[in-house]
C-alpha cells in the first residue's frame, strides 16, 4: 500500500479538530507528526492518521448526551 499525504482541509474533515488542537496534540506526541512535503507545503501521512482515528475510543450514546448538556 502506497502512503499518501493529506493536506489540512482533509485532516480537519477526518478528525473534526481545530488547527490549534492538532498543533497541541502534535506537540505532546499525541497526534501524528506533520511532514514537510516542499518549501511551503505540509501534510500528514494518511496511514498514520487513519491509525490515530481508529485508536480513538467511541463514546456511548448516553455519554454523548451528558456531554452535550454540560
Q: Could you tell me the residue ranges of all domains in the chain?
A: 5-69
The CA dihedral of 61, 65, 67, 68, to the nearest 10 degrees, is 130
**Per-residue confidence at 58, pLDDT binned at 50, 70, 90?**
confident
Per-residue pLDDT at 1: 46
Measured CA to CA, the distance from residue 16 to residue 55 in angstroms comes to 15
Q: Would you say how long the chain is, in residues?
A: 70
Measured CA to CA, the distance from residue 24 to residue 3 in angstroms comes to 24
Over the stretch 1-54, which tens digit does the pLDDT of each residue have?
A: 478 999 999 999 999 999 999 999 999 999 999 999 999 999 999 999 999 999
60 pLDDT higher than 80: no
65, three cell numbers: 448526551
Per-residue pLDDT at 20: 97
Amino acid at each position: 500500500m502506497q502512503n499518501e499525504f493529506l493536506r489540512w482541509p482533509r485532516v480537519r474533515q477526518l478528525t473534526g479538530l481545530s488547527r490549534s488542537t492538532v498543533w497541541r496534540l502534535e506537540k505532546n506526541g499525541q497526534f501524528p507528526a506533520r511532514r514537510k512535503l516542499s518549501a511551503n507545503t505540509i501534510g500528514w501521512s494518511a496511514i498514520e492518521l487513519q491509525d490515530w482515528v481508529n485508536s480513538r475510543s467511541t463514546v456511548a450514546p448516553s455519554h454523548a448526551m451528558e456531554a452535550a448538556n454540560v
